[in-house]
Chain A
Amino acid sequence: MKSFRAIIARDLLLAVRQGGATFLALVFFLLTVTLFPLGIGPEPAVLARVAPGVLWVAALLAAMLSLDRLFQADFEDGSLEQLTLSGLPVGFIVLAKIITHWLTTGLPLLLAAPVLAVLLNMNDEGFAALLLTMLIGTPALSLIGAIGAALTLTVRRGGVLLSLLVLPLYIPVLIFGVSAIDAAVHGLNAKPHILLLAALTMAAIPLCPWAAAAAVKLSLE
């Protein structure tokens, strides 16, 4: 448990030191969403209609963009090898890195989303659902993404392959995230959608670190 915390502390320290690169995902998120009013025009009704989808798609892409940081740097300089030799099961090491990834990517996206929702003229009813689905859904993005990041470790310039692997797996998160917000905006019951999204995340918590750990071990052979 102490080692687990030490790994999270290490990754957070590295994220702070590397400052700019860490919050690139957030800047990408802000920029992409602001492109939409420019691209499809400032009509408030249209923007309000597309807001949930735009926010979630942009969050998905932003999270994906930051995935190569998850293991790549540590793999290249030998730190990943040292981490797996720390005596902690590899699944826990992967989980620690996923938690840091969420803290430095998912959490900033979650905090920025309401501001962007105002920009897109989203209905007031949608805000609670937006925050809740982001809170439940973004950890799933980090979890699922870890599998892709681990699988593409030994592939040179694996960025494109990584997105091809991960984006299809993100579709369920997108569907339930957006449908929950849509339901809330139209005054319907958002609970079933949110529960399904929560089920996805709950299933991903044990499965994804396990699968990613297997891929990490393979990449070190």
Chain B
Amino acid sequence: MFQGRDIACDRGERRIFSNLDFRIMQGQALVLRGPNGCGKTTLLRTAATLLKVARGKLTWDGTDISEDPEEHRARLHFVGHLDAVKGALSVRENIAIWAKVRGSTEDRIEAAMAAFEILHLMDTPAQYLSAGQHRRTALARLVASPAALWLLDEPTVSLDADGTACLQRAIAAHRADGGMVMAATHIELGLDDVEFLQLKPQ
């Protein structure tokens, strides 16, 4: 269980949000809602330990994540605004790199490319990919190595309908395995049984 209690976050000197509570159980998905600048990205980056909380506590099964941030990082996947895809490497190499860094296995790399329907692009250097294919390569990281918590910041940007469907299936499979998802999105992800967290601008 991933829980946040009475969270407040600052960017610069400005308080982005405060008194925020959320809870994600195994197999659950939490979708963040709210206008631009209300702190969706800030909350996701905080959940990924890239930012510090100004007040409150984030806990995993009751343990404060700041006690062992490395352990928390190892159990999460974060897909942000940047794709972390290297143009000089092929699609396969790009995915394999992150799988290896996270100690995953070879067969999961194939499975990840299949999940996002980019198997045919396997040997294409990433610099020749379209924006949507670029995004799919970034999202394939999610499947290429196991992690309990997926933090997705506008994951459908530049994806077409097929790509969004791939992502939906990947999320469904992840949740069926007991995985958790926390996503910020403006469009309907088409997920069943999700909780919403409405953020208000301060």
A residues within 8 Å of B by Cβ? 2-3, 6-7, 9-10, 13-14, 17-18, 76-79, 81-89, 220-221
B5 at the interface (CB under 8 A from A): no
Determine whether the beta carbon of B73 is less than 8 Å from that of A87. yes
Query: A18-B88, A85-B76 are contacts. A10–B82 as well, Cβ < 8 Å?
Result: no
Query: A6-B97, A78-B80 are contacts. A85–B48 as well, Cβ < 8 Å?
Result: yes
Smallest beta-carbon distance A179→chain B, Å:
41
Q: Once bound together, how far apart are the Cα atoms of A86 and B71, in whole Å? A: 10
Residues of the A chain whose Cβ atoms lie less than 8 Å from the Cβ of B97: 6, 10, 13
Residues of the A chain whose Cβ atoms lie less than 8 Å from the Cβ of B48: 85
B186 at the interface (CB under 8 A from A): no
Contacts beyond the supplied A85-B49, A87-B75: 4 A-B pairs with Cβ under 8 Å = A2-B103, A6-B103, A87-B74, A89-B70
Q: Once bound together, how far apart are the Cα atoms of A76 and B103, in whole Å? A: 25
> How would residues 66 to 80 of chain B score, 1 for a CB under 8 Å from any chain A CB and 0 otherwise?
000011011110101
Residues of the B chain whose Cβ atoms lie less than 8 Å from the Cβ of A220: 50
Smallest beta-carbon distance A210→chain B, Å:
15
Query: A14-B89, A18-B88 are contacts. A82–B98 as well, Cβ < 8 Å?
Result: yes
Residues of the A chain whose Cβ atoms lie less than 8 Å from the Cβ of B119: none
Determine whether the beta carbon of B78 is less than 8 Å from that of A14. no
Query: A17-B89, A18-B88, A89-B70 are contacts. A81–B80 as well, Cβ < 8 Å?
Result: yes
Q: Once bound together, how far apart are the Cα atoms of A17 and B89, in whole Å? A: 8
B81, B88, B93 pick with most chain A CB within 10 angstroms: B88
A2, A7, A79, A88 pick with most chain B CB within 10 angstroms: A79
Residues of the A chain whose Cβ atoms lie less than 8 Å from the Cβ of B73: 84-87
Determine whether the beta carbon of A87 is less than 8 Å from that of B82. no
Q: Once bound together, how far apart are the Cα atoms of A83 and B52, in whole Å? A: 18
Q: Once bound together, how far apart are the Cα atoms of A18 and B89, in whole Å? A: 10
Subset of 27 A-B contacts with CB under 8 Å: A2-B103, A6-B100, A6-B101, A7-B101, A10-B100, A10-B101, A13-B93, A13-B97, A17-B89, A18-B88, A76-B82, A77-B83, A77-B86, A81-B82, A81-B84, A82-B84, A82-B98, A82-B141, A83-B101, A85-B48, A85-B78, A86-B101, A87-B73, A87-B102, A221-B50, A221-B51, A221-B52
